[in-house]
Amino acid sequence: MTDILFTPVRLNERLTLKNRILMAPLTRCMADEALVPTQQMVDYYARRADAGLIISEATIIRADGQGYPNTPGIFTQAQIAGWRKVTDAVHEKDGKIFAQLWHTGRVAHPHFWGGDEVIAPSAVGVDGTVPRMRELSYLVPRAATAAEIAQLVEDYAKAAENAIEAGFDGVEIHGANGYLIDEFLHYETNKRDDEFGGSPENMVRFPLQVVDAVIARIGAERTALRVSPAAYFNIEPDTRDRAVFDLLLTKLDERELAYLHGGIFDDSVHYDYLDGKVSEYLRRHSRHTLVGVGGYTAEAAADAISEDKFELIAIGRPFIANHDYVVRVREGKETKPYSDELLPVLY
């Protein structure tokens, strides 16, 4: 039933994956106070090296990108060295690992870096409080200037360069889930009237600049992207968003990528303005190798891959509960159920 999951996949001349099961990026908030990966993190990732590819937990590109406690960074030498221990441990077990590059945008909080403001595409706040730190309420961000946007592009490229120095096999640009890049792509969070807002052509400008800068710095074969055509997390949907993502995917098809990863918690949800599920929309509009995600069992993922809905499957919470998830699926063994009680410990 799941044999197709264990066939190798050639992404490009540089990268071939030993199987189709990816470990999805999973925010665990377990870095030290300097946002350096710990020995526990080294062991945690190494135990999961049977995956065809590990996508690291979201990793912030610079200090003001932080929106959760103890999320790792990749902008200091100590952080790079800490990640090097992780990647070495994964490679010693014949695994591959990408770094997911992250700036949280309007859900960042200056508590973490001692600042006094947050930048985002527009001065549109989000209601609520910081996860795990409920005493911190979100601020209304300041709209980034054009010069600050240019600096962000450079900072993404530098973070990608740092990731390669840290031994990662590539990077996944986090352009999904209501964070900075995604905020430029939705009308609810992008109210700009300059060259970065107001039309699909302008709204895709910054995301494409980031993609192009990262490709120029580390190569297209080591560059991937995660996107959220459906505004399902921290952003209200707008039917006009469809035109933005239609254009974004058209422009991405003019570029090479290692893969394109859908951002969704539940891929069974039908979105009228996308004419279906997120994975179906991406399949219709992208030529790239696609990563499916969103509540799939191994059996359902195998069926979807067999039906050419996507080529790879990213598995999230089951990997938290089962460090040997790949072996269990291959051998037909039952997997342990996930529960929130597992979150405080890197097992």
| Cα–Cα distance measured from residue 127 to residue 131, given in angstroms and rounded to the nearest whole number | 12
Using the structure block, give the residue that is written with the tokens 């993922």: 301
Residue 8 CA to residue 18 CA, distance in Å, equals: 4
Instruction: Tell me if residue 271 is catalytic.
Output: no
- The C-alpha atoms of residue 4 and residue 185 are separated, in whole angstroms, by 34
What does the radius of gyration of the chain's CA atoms come to, in whole angstroms? Answer: 19
Residue 203: CB atoms within 10 Å: 26
CA distance 247 to 235: 20
Query: Distance (Å, rounded) from C-alpha 106 to C-alpha 183?
Result: 8
- Three-class secondary structure of residue 227 per DSSP: strand
Cα 215 from chain centroid?
16
Rounded to whole angstroms, the Cα distance separating 238 from 271 reads 11
Catalytic residue (choose from 179, 187, 259, 271):
179
Name the residues annotated as catalytic: 179
